Amino acid sequence: MDELDYKALEQIPIPEGLEERLSAKIDQWEREEKHQMAQHRRLWPNVLRYTAVAACVALVFGIGYYHLQQEEPANLAELDTYQDPVLAQQEAERALNLLAANLNKGMGHLEKAQALSDKAENILNNQLKVLK
């Protein structure tokens, strides 16, 4: 059975209308595939359109809500929370010292990361020189 016996195959009778039926079935499959692709293509633009409209509406409502919730002070004197300038200066210095301490902590981490990056770069350059 490894070799095909073409003469035996040619002697098998082909049913009437088989070619037409096969052609019709292939055409039907192609039409269904095109219909499904067209339906899929039509669905995405609608979904994107509705999503964009919903996002715009949410954005407009969010901005409007934000502006309605903000209360402007009656006068500028309400903005000044410290009546004593010395106390205000002490609080400002405390806040700036806290900021400086946290910034220095972050710079220390950055220096460690830079050292590791430099070490990795040197190793990579050495390996590339070896490969040349």
pLDDT confidence of residue 40: 66
Answer yes or no: is 101 within a domain. Answer: yes
Judge if 51 and 95 occupy the same domain.
no
Residue range 11-39: mean pLDDT, rounded: 86
pLDDT confidence of residue 61: 93
Q: Which of 10-14, 40-44, 74-78, 81-85 has the lowest mean pLDDT?
A: 74-78
Answer yes or no: is 36 within a domain. Answer: yes
Q: How far apart are CA 96 and CA 67, in angstroms?
A: 30
Final residue belonging to a domain, choices 70, 92, 112:
70
Number of domains in the chain: 2
Helix-strand-coil split of the chain, %, nearest 5: 85, 0, 15
CA atoms 74, 76, 80, 84: torsion sign: negative
pLDDT confidence of residue 86: 87
Q: For 66-98, what is each residue's pLDDT tens digit?
A: 888 886 655 555 556 678 888 888 989 999 999
pTM for this prediction:
0.30
Domain that holds residue 51: 17-70
